[in-house]
């Protein structure tokens, strides 16, 4: 094996602007919703074909290839093997896991000439599980980690932000297979290796990113992490503890201890108010002259009586990169946790009701409700709930009094009878358990009495989305801070969800058949390119990190005649830079210098060399970093390659 330190750098590319396609423009597209979208179009990287569909022009393709190569190197170093699966997927495979229904209209379906329904794969869990089922039968063939880089498809209702929410996108998806969770060859070992690989990938790409704890969602499992590019224009909210370094997305983030007490005097007699035709908290509050923080919102859940298929991911739709394992913002589709086979039931046919109470300005978190309830849950079926006597939309905590087999879970911020900031009893308004009616002056102890002391019926637990200003769960006295980010990677401990659904088992050492344990790991390749632009740009254009820039050096000669000293110097420097592994773009267009300089800033190559008469008279060229303003540095021609 050759020492890597003695290997020469691979030869870089040298291209002329006139021989490639870089259609820069001064006008931003009318549909651009972010700076990255605008700049990728203006700088000639992408062009829209249709809603959520884009051409990757030569500059973009060069960036995507470099991102992909970094991914390949790190995945290979982590022990994964590359393969390629088809974009087309028989719908029968997705039916085995229920994802044909879970994806709904987000799934591209087509019918072939024989009348068979085929899907354009959004991710490849079913295909790879089916393949492995036919190829692996013994524990001796595991562990194994396989990955691909390929185009994926989701029929987004409203594609936007160019590559951040498109209908087709380039993604790296990997899947690992194991017989154990702990120990050598187990899922945890592979997960840790993927975590390290992802940190290396995004570090090498030059991204400013944060690794956050994420919600495992419908797949269950003990770990899930998102890799978020720090960016003010990001779609996702990250919550951080400035003291401990803890970071998590909104769906996963815990909060520190929050004080609560049911004990306190009422603010007045219960006052029933007629509130007809008022669809939401804001409208009811305005009508009653009560602010949302002083309202109690009661949402009815029920234990999941039938397995729910995992919903489509947030990724190119809502942020998540591997759909099978992403959390869902909708509380209507939470499936059984990992380990339940298709067709299993978590409870008897008669549902158990879970009444959840949060403050009117807070959002209930379904996953936290599931943890607090100790069972898979789903938002209550409205028809069933009404048949059971719930006045949906007007339910109050008092509804627990009339029902056995039900529990009441209250968030600490809602479980307060004293307004500590004002030093007086807490004023609450809530539903009246009667259509079109609410009540004022709700008091916990007066309205519910002794049931509040029964832990089998009433529980106080963190069941809402965390917010900036909440106490940190990791550092006493610290509060959470909010930031924005763009998800570019997501890793999951997938468990046995797909292997059980598709009958993928292997013989263990005792010759017993067990379902295979899986992990899944996604990187949005095209998404990473735009996330980098969203993160790294200025008023003049893109500022690429060196590692993924389309070209490392942009040379601008002022005179273009082949026998001119300008062009001879440009070609000489380009050749020498290429021999040192750098990619070079020579701007040989017959354009004014001002146009060339503006375009150079727009496309964002890290270094620019300007070759002009005054500099050459001194035996120099001007070298300028894209990341720095002002004029460049005069460098002797013979020193330019070394300096660069």
Distant-in-sequence, close-in-space partners of 438: CB < 8 Å, separation ≥ 6: 272, 273, 275, 284, 288, 394, 429, 430, 431, 432
Q: What's the predicted TM-score (pTM) here? A: 0.87
Number of other CB atoms surrounding residue 578 within 10 Å: 19
The CATH topology of domain 271-306+345-460 is YbaK protein (3.90.960)
Q: Which residue from 310, 360, 298 is spatially nearest to 501, judged by alpha carbons?
A: 310
The CATH topology of domain 551-643 is Rossmann fold (3.40.50)
DSSP 268: S
User: pLDDT tens for residues 429-481?
Assistant: 999 999 999 999 999 999 999 999 999 999 999 999 999 999 999 999 999 99
**Collapsing DSSP states into helix, strand and coil, what is residue 288?**
helix
DSSP 8: P
β-partners of residue 425 are: 418
Number of other CB atoms surrounding residue 346 within 10 Å: 17
Can you tell me the mean pLDDT for 382-396? 94
b/e for 428-442, b at 16 or more Cβ within 10 A?
Answer: bbbbbbeeebbbbbb
Residues 304/334, Cβ–Cβ less than 8 Å: yes
Domain boundaries, the chain: 25-252+481-535, 271-306+345-460, 551-643
Can you tell me the mean pLDDT for 293-300? 97
User: pLDDT tens for residues 402-425?
Assistant: 888 899 999 999 999 999 989 999
pLDDT at residue 323 in the model = 44
CA dihedral 172→175→181→184, nearest 10 degrees, is: -80
Split at pLDDT 50, 70, 90, the class of 8 is low
pLDDT at residue 7 in the model = 55
**Measured distance CA(604)–CA(506) in Å, rounded:** 52
Lowest mean pLDDT among 325-334, 503-512, 531-540: 325-334
Residues 167/159, Cβ–Cβ less than 8 Å: yes
The CATH topology of domain 25-252+481-535 is BirA Bifunctional Protein; domain 2 (3.30.930)
User: pLDDT tens for residues 145-154?
Assistant: 999 999 999 9
pLDDT at residue 343 in the model = 33
Number of other CB atoms surrounding residue 85 within 10 Å: 15
């Amino acid at each position: 094996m050759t020492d890597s330190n003695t290997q020469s750098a691979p030869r870089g590319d040298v291209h002329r602007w006139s021989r490639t396609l870089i259609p820069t423009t001064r006008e931003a597209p009318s549909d651009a919703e972010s700076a990255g979208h605008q700049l990728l179009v203006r700088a000639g990287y992408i062009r829209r074909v249709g809603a959520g569909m884009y051409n990757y022009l030569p500059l973009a393709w060069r960036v995507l290839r470099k991102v992909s190569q970094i991914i390949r190197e790190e995945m290979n170093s982590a022990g994964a093997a590359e393969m390629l699966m088809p974009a087309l997927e028989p719908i029968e495979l997705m039916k085995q896991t229920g994802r044909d229904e879970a994806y709904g209209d987000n799934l591209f379906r087509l019918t072939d000439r024989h009348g068979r329904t085929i899907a354009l794969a959004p991710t490849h869990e079913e295909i790879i599980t089916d393949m492995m089922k036919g190829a692996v039968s013994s524990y001796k063939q595991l562990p194994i980690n396989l990955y691909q880089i390929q185009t994926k498809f989701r029929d987004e209702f409203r594609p936007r932000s160019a590559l951040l929410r498109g209908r087709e996108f380039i993604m790296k998806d990997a899947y690992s297979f194991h017989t154990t969770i702990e120990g050598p060859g187990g899922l945890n070992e592979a997960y840790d290796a993927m975590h390290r690989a992802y940190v290396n990938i995004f570090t090498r790409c030059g991204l400013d990113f944060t690794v956050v704890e994420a919600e495992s969602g419908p797949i269950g499992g003990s770990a899930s992490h998102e890799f978020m590019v720090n960016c003010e224009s990001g779609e996702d909210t990250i919550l951080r503890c400035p003291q401990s370094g803890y970071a998590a997305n909104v769906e996963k983030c815990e909060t520190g201890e929050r004080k609560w007490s049911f004990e306190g005097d009422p603010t007045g007699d219960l006052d029933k108010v007629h509130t007809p035709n008022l669809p939401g908290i804001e409208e009811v509050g305005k009508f009653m002259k009560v602010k949302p923080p002083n309202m109690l919102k009661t949402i009815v859940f029920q234990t999941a009586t039938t397995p729910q298929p995992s919903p489509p991911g947030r990724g190119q739709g809502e942020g998540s990169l591997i759909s099978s394992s992403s959390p869902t913002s909708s509380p209507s589709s939470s499936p059984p946790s990992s380990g339940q086979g298709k067709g299993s039931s978590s409870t008897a046919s008669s549902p158990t009701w879970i009444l959840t109470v949060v403050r009117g300005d807070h959002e209930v978190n379904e996953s936290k409700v599931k943890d607090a309830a100790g069972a898979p849950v789903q938002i209550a079926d409205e028809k069933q709930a009404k048949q059971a006597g719930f006045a949906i939309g007007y339910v109050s905590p008092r509804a627990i009094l009339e029902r056995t087999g039900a529990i009441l879970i209250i968030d600490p911020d809602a479980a307060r009878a004293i307004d500590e900031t004002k030093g007086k009893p807490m004023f609450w308004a809530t539903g009246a358990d009667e259509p079109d009616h609410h009540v004022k002056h709700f008091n916990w102890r007066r309205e519910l009495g002794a049931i509040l002391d029964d832990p089998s019926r009433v529980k106080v637990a963190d069941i809402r989305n965390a917010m900036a200003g909440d106490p940190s769960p990791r550092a006493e006295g610290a509060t959470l801070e909010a930031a924005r980010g763009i998800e570019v990677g997501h890793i999951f401990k997938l468990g046995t969800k797909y292997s059980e659904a598709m009958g993928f088992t292997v013989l263990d050492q005792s010759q017993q058949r067990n379902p295979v344990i899986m992990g899944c790991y996604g990187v949005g390749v095209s998404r990473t390119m735009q996330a980098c632009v969203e993160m790294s740009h200025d008023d003049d254009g893109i500022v690429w990190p060196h590692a993924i820039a389309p070209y490392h050096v942009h040379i601008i000669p002022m005179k273009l005649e082949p026998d001119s000293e300008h062009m001879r110097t440009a070609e000489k420097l380009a050749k020498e830079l290429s021999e040192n592994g750098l990619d070079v773009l020579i701007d040989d267009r017959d354009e004014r210098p001002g146009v060339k300089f503006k375009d150079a800033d727009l496309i964002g190559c890290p270094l620019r060399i300007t070759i002009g008469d005054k500099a050459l008279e001194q035996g120099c060229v001007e070298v300028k970093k894209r990341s720095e303003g002002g004029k460049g540095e005069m460098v002797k021609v013979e020193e330019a390659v070394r300096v660069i």
